[in-house]
Homo-oligomer: A and B are copies of this chain.
C-alpha cells in the first residue's frame, strides 16, 4: 500500500514479538501471592505460548518450572517482562538481549519521570534496546492486554477481565488504558489490544499505531496521549492509519496542568491546539473527553462512512423532545441535517397518522408497527449518508433487535441507534443491537455525538483523498539574508513567496523620503525601519494617512527621536484600502515542526485567541478548513454591508507561508500582521521574521 514504507513494516515485524509473542520470560517472578512478580505469572495462565518465570531461589511458580536466570532458559524467548526494581533493569536487559529476546516490557516506575538518577537508568535501557534491536515498552508502564490472544502482559489483574473485541486502545497512561477498556466493556464492547505506553522512550504511539493499522483484529484505534515526543512521526503514523481504519484521539492540556503531567510520564504537555490540529489534519477524529472517545470507538468498531465533503444526516425519533435535543446537538457540532425531499416526505406520510412532524427530524410519535418501514424509507433518501434513530425502549411496541434483523438486507445506510429504558431490559437489547451491527447509545446527545464522529471521519477522508494527489510544494530551498530581518526584507520575502505587499520604499534620509513621497500614491504610511525594533507601534514608530509634506516631516522628526540600538531608516508605503485584517503566521514548534497559523486581527480576536493552526506543508483543503475554524469567520462573508473577502487570495497566501516555512529552515517565526484582506485580494501590511 502506498504510504507504508519499509520502515513501517519493520516496526510491525518487531512489534509482533511484543504484542503477539510465542514465548514470555518474567524476570522478578515471585512465588509469593500478591507480589507483582507473582501476578505477572498468574495473569499469563490463559496465554497459549511458553511461559518462563525467572527467579534465582524459587523452583516452581503456579505450576511453571522456574529458571534461576534468563541465560539458563535455553529456549527462544520473544518477550521479557521486567518485574524488578529500576536499578536492576540494565543488567537484566543486557542478559535478555544476550539470549535473543526481541522485546521487553519494563513495568513499574523509578525512571525518567522521577529525576536525574532515574533518567540515567532509562537512557541506559534505551541504548541497550537500540544496540540489540530489541523493542522496549515503557519503562513506567503497566503493560497491556491482548484479549483476542487471551494474553495479559501485566501485573494488574484488571487487564485480565477484558473481553475481546475490535477496538484498540493506545494510551500514554496505563491507568487510562484500563479505564477506557472498562468503559468500553460497560457498553458491551471489547478490545483487540489495550496498552499503556508509559515513558515510551522506545516503543511509542507512532509505532503502535503503525502496528495496529495492519492488525486484522483491530477495526478502530482509540488514542489517549499526554505529551508527545516526535510530533511529526506521530502525525505521519496517524495519517497512514486513517487511510485504512478510523482513529479517534483524546489529549489533554487545554489548561495549565503541566506540572502534574510532567510528573506522570516525564513528558511536557505541549500545545493542546497544535496537537489537536495535527491529529485532525492527519485524519483522526478529535474528541474532548473519554466518554466521547469511547462512544465514537464503539460506533467505529461497527461501521465507517465513506468519504463525503459534508455528510447529510437523517434523524428519526419516537419522542419529539429527543429529536429536539439531537437536532440542537448536531447543529452545534456543524452537522448537516438537510430538509428531506418531497418524495421521501410523501412516502413517510403514507405510513404515519397526520399531526406528525414530517421533515428532518421525522417525528414518528411513539413507535408504531410502521416504524421500521419509516426507517427503511428514510434510509432510501438519496441525499442522506447516515441515519440517527432515537426511540424510548418500549419492547411491547417495538423490538429494535428484531427490527434491524429484518431490515438489514434492505437497510442501505449506516444507522446509529439511541434508546432509553430500564437497566434490565437494556443490557440484552444493546447486546442484540451490537450483534446486528448497530451501536446503541443511551441518551439523545450521545447518539448525536457518535454520529458527529462518523461524519467528521467521512469529511477527513474526503479531504485526505484529495490530497493523495498533492499539490506540488515549492521544494526549492530559500535562505534568509544574513543579519536580522527588518520589515522591508520581510516583505520582499513575502513577495518572493507570492504574497503581495503594498508599494513601499526604504529611505535612508529625509531627502530620499521626500523624493519618494512625491512618487508614491498618497496617503502613505510612514514607519521606522529597524530590525532591532520588533514592536514599531509601541515605540511610536508608525504614522498613517500621511498626505502632505508637512505631515511627512513631522513623522520623520518623531521617528528620528526613537532610541534604537541599530541603524534606522524610514519605510514609506502606500496605504491599503480598508478591509478585514487577518494575522497570518508560521512558527517552528519544538514537537511538531513548522506550523501555519491564521487568526483574525485586532485586540479582541487576540484576547479570545481566535486562531487556527495546521502543520506545514498544508494543502488547499487544509487552508479552507482553517478559515472555517475561525470563530469570527462570519466576518469573511462580508460584515455589515462590506463585500466578502477573496477567500482564494487568503488561501494562496496561507499556502505561500507554508512553502516558506518548509523551504526556509532559517525561519523560526513569521508574522504577517495584519494581512489586509479585501474583495479583490490580500496585502501584507507588516511582516516580522525571526531567525531560527
Chain A positions within 8 Å of B, measured between CB atoms, are 109-110, 113-114, 156-158, 161, 171-176, 178-179, 182-183, 185-186, 224, 226, 252-257, 259-261, 263-264, 289-291, 294, 318-325, 327-329, 331-332, 355, 357, 359, 361, 363, 366, 392-394, 396, 420-423, 426, 442-446, 538, 600, 602-605, 607-608, 610, 631-632, 634-635, 639-641
Contacts and interface: CB of A to CB of B under 8 A. Distances in A.
A357 B604 contact: no
Contacts of A443: 179, 183, 289-291, 294
B157 A396 contact: yes
A470 B61 CA distance: 75
Contacts of A175: 318-322, 392
A485 B361 CA distance: 46
A279 to B, nearest CB: 16
A359 B321 CA distance: 44
A174 B320 CA distance: 9
A444 B290 contact: yes
Contacts of A396: 157
Given A176-B325, A183-B442, A264-B363, 10 more contacts: A173-B322, A176-B322, A179-B322, A182-B420, A226-B321, A255-B327, A261-B324, A289-B329, A290-B325, A291-B446
Given A255-B328, A260-B327, A328-B254, A179 B289 contact: no
A189 B254 CA distance: 33
Contacts of A174: 319, 321
Given A183-B442, A327-B257, A392-B182, A355 B322 contact: no
A110 B355 contact: yes
How many protomers of this protein does the assembly include? 2
Contact of A324 (B182, B226, B394): B226
18 contacts: A110-B355, A156-B366, A173-B321, A173-B322, A173-B324, A174-B319, A176-B321, A178-B420, A179-B321, A186-B426, A260-B324, A260-B363, A263-B320, A264-B363, A289-B329, A289-B443, A290-B443, A291-B291
Contacts of A255: 327-328, 331-332
A158 B172 CA distance: 43
A320 B185 contact: no
A357 B325 contact: no
A604 B606 CA distance: 10
A543 to B, nearest CB: 15
Contacts of A172: 321
A355 B109 contact: yes
Contacts of A600: 604
Contacts of A264: 320-321, 324, 357, 363
Nearest to A421: B182
Which of A178, A224, A290, A321 has the largest number of chain B CB atoms within 10 A?
A321
Given A328-B252, A422-B185, A444 B319 contact: no
Contacts of A604: 600, 602, 604-605, 610, 632, 635
B320 A260 contact: yes
A332 to B, nearest CB: 5
Contacts of A325: 176, 252, 289-290
B603 A355 contact: no
Contacts of A640: 603
Contacts of A252: 324-325, 328
Which 10 residue pairs spanning A and B have beta carbons closest together? Answer: A175-B319, A173-B321, A255-B331, A176-B321, A289-B445, A182-B420, A264-B320, A179-B420, A263-B357, A607-B632
A318 B158 CA distance: 14
A542 to B, nearest CB: 15
Which of A179, A393, A641 has the largest number of chain B CB atoms within 10 A?
A179
A446 B289 CA distance: 9
A224 B443 CA distance: 14
A257 B328 contact: yes
Nearest to A329: B289
A212 B602 CA distance: 50
Nearest to A444: B290
B328 A179 contact: no
A300 to B, nearest CB: 18
Contacts of A289: 325, 329, 443, 445
Which of A175, A226, A325, A426 has the largest number of chain B CB atoms within 10 A?
A175
A607 B442 CA distance: 36
Contacts of A224: 321
A610 B641 CA distance: 20
A600 B605 CA distance: 11
Nearest to A331: B255
B261 A394 contact: no
A366 to B, nearest CB: 8
Contacts of A442: 182-183, 186
A377 B632 CA distance: 48
